[in-house]
Amino acid sequence: MGVQKIALAMERLKPRVLPADYTLLEDYPNAAEYYRADGMTIITEVDEYQGRLWLHVSCAFRTKLPSWVDLREVKTVFVGPKRMAISVQPGEDEYVNIHPYVLHLWSPIDHDPIPDFRKFEPLVGKMGI
C-alpha cells in the first residue's frame, strides 16, 4: 500500500468541523495532533497493519486517565458516530505502556475485523451481547 493511499484515507477521515474547545496543533499527511481546552491531547494517524488500513486515535492527559465520557467524545469526533472503533486489551506478556494516562482506539478503514456479537446465538438461546 502506498503513502498516497494512506494520505488520502487520512484526509477523508479528518473531522471537517471541530468542536469549539478543540484546536488543531499539527497536521501531517498521515497524522494530526489536536488539543482540547481542558488539557487533553488527541493524536490521529492512518497507517497500514498487516496489509490493511487502520485509523489509530489516542487521547491523553498529563496526570490522569481520560474518562469513558472523554473516550466516547473522542470516538465521535475523530472516528465518527457511525464507524466502529476497537479498544485492545493485550495479554500481560504483550502489554506496552509508554504513557500512563493514554487510551487508544483503532478503527478499520476498509474491512470489518471482528464478528457481529449482536447476532443471535442458537446454542446459548439469546443475543450475543
Q: Quick check: is 21 in a domain?
A: yes
- What are 45's three cell numbers? 494517524
Q: Say which CATH number the domain at 87 has.
A: 3.40.1720
Q: What is the pLDDT of residues 79-98, one digit of tens each?
A: 999 999 999 887 888 777 77
Q: Quick check: is 42 in a domain?
A: yes
Count the domains in the chain: 1
Q: Quick check: is 54 in a domain?
A: yes
Contact 108, 52 (CB under 8 A): yes
* Residue 33 domain boundaries: 3-112
Q: Quick check: is 129 in a domain?
A: no
Q: What is the pTM of this model?
A: 0.84
Percentages helix, strand, coil for the chain, rounded to the nearest 5?
20, 35, 45
Q: What is the pLDDT of residues 9-24, one digit of tens each?
A: 999 999 999 999 999 9
Q: Quick check: is 120 in a domain?
A: no
